[in-house]
Amino acid sequence: MKIIYLDGCATTAVDDEVLDAMLPYLREDFGNPSSPHVLGKRARRAVDAAAASVAALVGADPETIVFTSGATESNNIALLGAFAHDDRAPVNGVFCPIDHKSSLAVGRALAGRGVDVRTVPIRPDGRVDLTGLAGLLDLHTRVATVAWVNSEIGAVQPIAEAAALCHEAGALLHVDAAQAAGRIPIDVRAAEIDTLSVSGHKIHGPKGVGALYVRPEIRHRLRPIMFGGGQYALRSGTVPTHLVVGLGAACELALRRRNDDWSRVRRLRATALDMLTTGIEGARVNGDPHGGVPHVLNVVLPGVRGESLVSSLHGVALSTGSACNSDSQEPSYVLTAIGVSPEDANSSIRICLDPRMPHEDLVRGIELVVERARGLTGAAAAR
Ligand SMILES: Cc1ncc(COP(=O)(O)O)c(C=O)c1O
């Protein structure tokens, strides 16, 4: 049975082009990029080329890219690394309550160590309240962190403005771009971002690989959080050439397709929204219907339990929110933070649109969602 996949914020399939680029580094070119011999040098060249591809996607120089196991690790290195020295000083960090748990959990760990962890206010449209952010920053703020694109509602944050406020206070700005890379243009230099995380598997690359951009001028303000052979000073461990090559290929693909994808996905979104609002009484968008990335569509379906809908659909894969929260019975913390009632939050689903999916697949997928939702509310039976 064909599964219509509407959950690209959780993960994406590896593109054939990416897989083809990776395979030689699992077979004949298996050398360790740190080895001085011919196979090592070949692997090293591939890793350097991948760094150039990641750098091109985010507007950076290749030397500023550190490979990691994913955005979770990148966020940990950037945030814990900023607090890993001189812990005696009174220090604080500013966190965004709608961000992914790989940032929020770091905040909780830091609070447990005595760091003053501050929470930035979020507006009903899902954007950071910049006046609120300014009020939280002071001389003792090491770092503020914001996810550029929110994984549940697609809100796009005012990153350049946040960076300017952070720098005025002498703080670093870390940006989690796991959902932004490949979807919106990123220029770390123009936005004056200090550190930025990317994840391979969100952009048709492999799972288990990501990158951290580190602005050279602030590198001395980060300390490594794990130690070893020092392959990259901030992140030890043998570099997994095949994964890194896959990430590089995925970044090239994303850069090549980005403009084209944006217009395709807008059309898919319009179709999905039209079908949902005409098919289900009272269906409406959570967050700003026009302000976020078009790829993410979070909708309330009144009277339908989102979890029941998602788990009872067999031909469609979608979710109620972030994959790492899907076991939780609690309403989404992202939706409640923007003022959605717990009841509406529990009646919400998240549809992530793949720009490359055939239009007829989307139509079929949404038809199945509407049919099932109507079955769950009893609307179908009433007609
Ligand atoms: C905004 C955001 N940050 C971080 C992550 C974690 O990324 P990874 O799976 O590469 O560790 C995700 C994945 O869902 C995400 O959406």
Nearest to 279 by CA among 362, 381, 369, 153: 369
What total number of domains does the chain contain? 2
* Percent of residues in the chain assigned helix, strand, coil, to nearest 5: 45, 15, 40
The whole-angstrom distance between residue 351's C-alpha and the CA centroid of its chain comes to: 15
Question: Tokens 């989307």 sit at which residue?
Answer: 362
Closest CA to 110 of 134, 135, 75: 75
CA-closest residue to ligand 1 atom 4: 71
- At 381 the pLDDT is 46
> Would you state the pLDDT for residue 323?
55
φ, ψ for residue 31, nearest 5 deg? -60, 160
Bin 72: left if φ > 0, else alpha if -120 < ψ < 50, else beta.
Answer: alpha
Q: Looking at residue 84, which CATH number applies to its domain?
A: 3.40.640.10
HEC string of 337-363 equals: HCCCCHHHHHCEEEEECCCCCCHHHHH
Together in a domain, 262 and 232: no
Q: Which of 157, 55, 52, 61 is nearest to 100 (CA)?
A: 157
Could you tell me if 192 and 298 lie in one domain? Answer: no
Are 208 and 171 contained in the same domain?
yes
Residue 215 domain boundaries = 16-253
Looking at 253, 286, 320, the residue that finishes a domain is 253
Same domain, 243 and 112: yes
Q: Which residues line ligand 1 (CB under 6 A)?
A: 70-72, 100, 102, 147, 151, 176, 178-179, 199, 210, 322-323
Nearest-CA neighbor of 100 among 197, 244, 235, 209?
197
Q: How many CB atoms lie within 10 A of CB 282?
A: 12
C-alpha 66 to ligand 1 mean position (Å): 17
* Calpha distance 365→172 (Å, rounded): 43
Rounded to the nearest whole angstrom, what is the distance from the C-alpha of residue 303 to the centroid of ligand 1? 30
Residue among 179, 247, 325, 350 to mutate when testing ligand 1 (max atoms within 8 A of CB):
179
Q: In terms of domains, do 90 and 238 share one?
A: yes
Quick one: CA torsion of 190, 210, 65, 79, rounded to 10 degrees?
70
- In the prediction, which pLDDT does 233 show? 81
Q: Within a 10 A sphere around the Cβ of 256, how many other Cβ atoms?
A: 11
| 225 & 191 share domain | yes
Residue 4 · residue 361 · CB < 8 Å: yes
CB under 8 Å, gap of 24 or more: what pairs does 168-172 form? 168/137, 169/137, 169/138, 169/139, 169/141, 170/139, 170/141, 171/94, 171/137, 171/141, 171/142, 171/143, 171/144, 172/82, 172/142, 172/143, 172/144, 172/218, 172/221
Q: Is the pTM of the predicted complex or chain greater than 0.85?
A: yes
Digitized pLDDT (tens) for each residue of the chain, 383 residues in all: 899 999 999 999 999 999 999 999 999 999 999 999 999 999 999 999 999 999 999 999 999 999 999 999 999 999 999 998 766 678 999 999 999 999 999 999 999 999 999 999 999 999 999 999 999 999 999 999 999 999 999 999 999 999 999 999 999 999 999 999 999 999 999 999 999 999 999 999 999 999 999 999 999 999 999 999 877 789 999 999 999 999 999 999 999 998 888 889 999 999 999 999 999 999 999 999 988 999 999 999 999 999 999 999 999 999 997 555 555 668 999 999 999 999 999 999 999 999 999 999 999 999 999 999 999 987 644 44
169 lies in the same domain as 287: no
Per-residue pLDDT at 100: 98
